[in-house]
Amino acid sequence: MTRKFFAVALLVSFIAMSTSGLMMFFIEKPSFTIQMHPVHKLFGLVMIISVIGHLSFNYRSLLTYLKTKTIAIFGSVLVFLLVFLYGVAINNKVPDNIAIPMDELAGQAESHE
């Protein structure tokens, strides 16, 4: 029964994350991103919990998949790409004179009811 809950939570959180992410990607307005942020953030947490549950039930299958050389290489390339892009993003710091007012305005917008 628990497996079914994790599967449904993973499906719904995937739909929420992908649709909110795509909307934020295509509607390139910081104000819209702030509007969607609570949905994206909440379902991101639901997705993390769901993935952990899903992996706990299916980790043996995943390990079996990784024994295939092509799949292992594919996974390694994706991990490399993830680490590389995190490195690029972290080293692409927004100047303080822009970041501080932006963060303050975003905080005000998110707390506004």
Q: Give the SS3 label for residue 16.
A: helix
Nearest CA to 30 out of 113, 98, 102 is that of 102
Mean pLDDT for back-to-back runs of 10 residues, the chain (113 residues): 93 96 93 90 96 94 95 97 97 92 85 67
What global pTM score does this model have?
Answer: 0.78
Contact status, residue 46 vs residue 7, Cβ threshold 8 Å: no
Any residues with CB less than 8 A from the CB of 43 and at least 6 apart, and which?
Answer: 12, 13, 16, 17, 20
